[in-house]
Amino acid sequence: MNVNLKTRPRRLRQSAAIRSMVRETELNARDFIYPLFVRHGDGRTPIVSMPGIDQVSTLEAVREAEKAAKAGVPAVILFGIPAEKDPVGLENFSENGIIQQAIRAIKKEIPEMVVVTDVCLCEYTDHGHCGILNTGEHFQASLPEGYVLNDPTLEVLGKVAISHAECGADIIAPSGMMDGMISAIRDALDAKSFELMPIMSYAVKYASAFYGPFRDAADGAPKFGDRKSHQMDPANIKEALREATLDVEEGADMLMVKPALAYLDVIRTVKDAFPELPMAAYNVSGEYSMVKAAAEKGWIDEEKVTLETLLSMKRAGADLMITYHALEAAAWLKS
Ligand code: PBG
């Protein structure tokens, strides 16, 4: 007793082999960028709110990068926890800063590993903000007290980018959402003949509560206030196009949308607007920790949920995913 149906989509779902032939999106280990939190001293310190992720010494960072290389993950992105913090964040562009040491160590041991560096002030400033604050010697009476100053911050970002480039970084990733940060960094790099250094812009970065665990991990929470004067309002998507357009005009080589999971529509919209640019999605700390917490409780299948989540980002238009799941996801994909 068959109904006369001409079209039966289930025909193409009847076996694993056919399903694999018509699959539109495929995850690969080479899609992942693995974040590392590097600190001074020896050994490792577990990050309580991010099970499976540690703050690591330079030596342990090299070990993590080796694991990534073995798993087929081509890149790491580095975040540094400085020895001391101050209003400007001097260690951020110091020759022997923690990131500078980590870049040199990783590039020496694993030259083929692509080392991406996060360029921002928040982990290095004593106030935890992403730029120089409007106070003290920098005070400008026309602006609110405590405002994150845009243009003086650009100068610092340029110095940080040059410092990372001099240590052998492969890609510079500015994450501070300052206006004009891409052209400022491009100009600073080019003035030192780093014309080949690619810039991956955190072009569309929201003022999101999903960064909670990261701020423990990198010890970079603002000591007062929030980041709403520079990071984007989660309600906005047209503004995402405005931000991405500016960064492309300023010379960004790659774009990023961050966070990823609650912003899949933004990933798709930005990708459609700039299909010619490689695009990354940042699968942020809160997204990672939610999966880990539910898995610890036995409420979800960790492997399947993780891979489905990463697949959704790629399907939405991301070419690359920055993810704390990189090593385990690469291993699951292999098996
Ligand atoms: C800023 C930076 C942040 C993250 C990456 N770069 C924190 C912030 O903007 O507050 C968050 C990443 C994550 O949550 O995994 N240096």
Interval between CA 85 and ligand 1 midpoint (Å): 17
The torsion angles phi and psi of 209, rounded to 5 degrees, stand at -75, -10
Q: Give the residue-averaged pLDDT of 53-74.
A: 98
Choose which residue among 98, 214, 289, 313 to substitute to test ligand 1 binding: the one with the highest number of ligand atoms within 8 A of its C-beta: 214
Choose which residue among 211, 229, 284 to substitute to test ligand 1 binding: the one with the highest number of ligand atoms within 8 A of its C-beta: 211
Task: Identify the band that residue 209 occupies on the pLDDT scale cut at 50, 70 and 90.
Answer: very high
Q: Give the residue-averaged pLDDT of 78-94.
A: 96
* Nearby residues of 224 by Cβ (< 8 Å), 6 or more positions away: 127, 146
Helix (H) or strand (E) holding 184: helix 181-191
Residue 199 is predicted with a pLDDT of 98
Residue 222 is predicted with a pLDDT of 87
Indicate whether residue 283 lines ligand 1 (CB < 6 A).
Answer: no
Interval between CA 331 and ligand 1 midpoint (Å): 25
Q: What is the mean pLDDT of the chain?
A: 97
174 alpha-carbon distance from chain centroid: 9
Residue 234 is predicted with a pLDDT of 98
Interval between CA 144 and ligand 1 midpoint (Å): 25
In angstroms, the CA 218 to CA 36 distance is: 10
Asked whether the predicted pLDDT for residue 60 surpasses 90, the reply is yes
Indicate whether residue 263 lines ligand 1 (CB < 6 A).
Answer: no
Indicate whether residue 324 lines ligand 1 (CB < 6 A).
Answer: no
Residue 63 is predicted with a pLDDT of 98
Q: Determine contact, residues 156/89, Cβ cutoff 8 Å.
A: yes
Indicate whether residue 147 lines ligand 1 (CB < 6 A).
Answer: no
Nearest CA among 259, 220, 211, 261 for reference residue 50: 211
Residue 149 is predicted with a pLDDT of 96
Indicate whether residue 201 lines ligand 1 (CB < 6 A).
Answer: no
Interval between CA 284 and ligand 1 midpoint (Å): 8
Interval between CA 323 and ligand 1 midpoint (Å): 12
Ligand 1: which atom is nearest the Cα of residue 324?
A: 15
Q: What pTM does this model have? A: 0.97
C-alpha distances out from residue 272 to 78, 205, 251, 306, Å? 29, 18, 18, 25
Indicate whether residue 170 lines ligand 1 (CB < 6 A).
Answer: no
Residue 216 is predicted with a pLDDT of 83
- Among protein residues, the one with the nearest Cα to ligand 1's atom 14 is 211
Identify the CATH number of the domain defined by range 26-334.
Answer: 3.20.20.70
**pLDDT tens digit sequence for 6-18:** 999 999 999 999 9
**pLDDT tens digit sequence for 273-332:** 999 999 999 999 999 999 999 999 999 999 999 999 999 999 999 999 999 999 999 999
Q: Give the residue-averaged pLDDT of 183-195.
A: 98
Catalytic residue annotation: 205, 258
With pLDDT > 90 as the criterion, what percentage of the chain qualifies?
96
Instruction: To the nearest 10°, report the CA torsion of 293, 296, 300, 306.
Output: 60
Ligand 1: which atom is nearest the Cα of residue 123?
A: 16
Indicate whether residue 211 lines ligand 1 (CB < 6 A).
Answer: yes
**pLDDT tens digit sequence for 258-290:** 999 999 999 999 999 999 999 999 999 999 999
Interval between CA 228 and ligand 1 midpoint (Å): 14
Residue 217 is predicted with a pLDDT of 86
Indicate whether residue 118 lines ligand 1 (CB < 6 A).
Answer: yes
**pLDDT tens digit sequence for 124-169:** 999 999 999 999 999 999 999 999 999 999 999 999 999 999 999 9
